[in-house]
Amino acid sequence: MERTLIIIKPDGVRRKLVDKIVQRYERAGLKVITLKKMKATPQLLKKHYSAHVGKEFYKALEKFMSSEVVAFVLEGNNAVKQARAITGATDPSKAERGTVRGDFGIDSAEKADKEKRAIENLVHASGTKEEAEKEIGLWFPGLKK
């Protein structure tokens, strides 16, 4: 069994897509271990997105991610890879049909770039097992392993 972290970003929360998005992962057999609605601090976001701090889009990303989000941990076989496949490509305008970003996404990287803001792509999903472990520790520090 493997675990991964999903965050429904502020655009998903605002558009009331939380239940629909959670179901996408559950219907693939992944189990929600814990879930909470919260606002992330700048410090948490800097740790979470440590690989992106300093990049040209980071400030916009931090601003975008500072509104209410829904974070949850999924458990299942190959949870990290499965969840990434269900999530889809970073740019919603290029994400495959059948993925969360492809089906519910209305933004594009090009538009976001022009407007100097973060790409609004509904969800974060951990990229690797190592990232998942780090991220679960950050967002759910009290969770039993």
Active site residues: 124
Q: Does residue 102 belong to the site contacting Mg ion (CB under 5 A)? A: no
Q: Does residue 3 belong to the site contacting ligand CDP (CB under 6 A)? A: no
The C-alpha atoms of residue 134 and residue 145 are separated, in whole angstroms, by 12
Q: Does residue 119 belong to the site contacting ligand CDP (CB under 6 A)? A: yes
In the bound complex, what is the minimum distance in angstroms from residue 9's beta carbon to ligand CDP? 7
Q: Give the range of 12-20, 75-83, 114-122, 132-140 binding ligand CDP by CB under 6 A.
A: 114-122
The residues, any chain, with a CB within 8 Å of residue 36's CB and separated by 6 or more, are: 70, 71, 72, 140
Site string for ligand CDP, 24-63 (x = CB under 6 A): ----------------------------x----x---x--
The residues, any chain, with a CB within 8 Å of residue 19's CB and separated by 6 or more, are: none
Instruction: Report the residue from 121, 132, 136, 140 that binds ligand CDP according to the rule CB under 6 A.
Output: 121
Q: Does residue 127 belong to the site contacting Mg ion (CB under 5 A)? A: yes
* Residues 136, 143 contacting (CB under 8 angstroms): yes
CA distances from 143 to 6, 53, 133, 136 (A): 15, 26, 11, 8
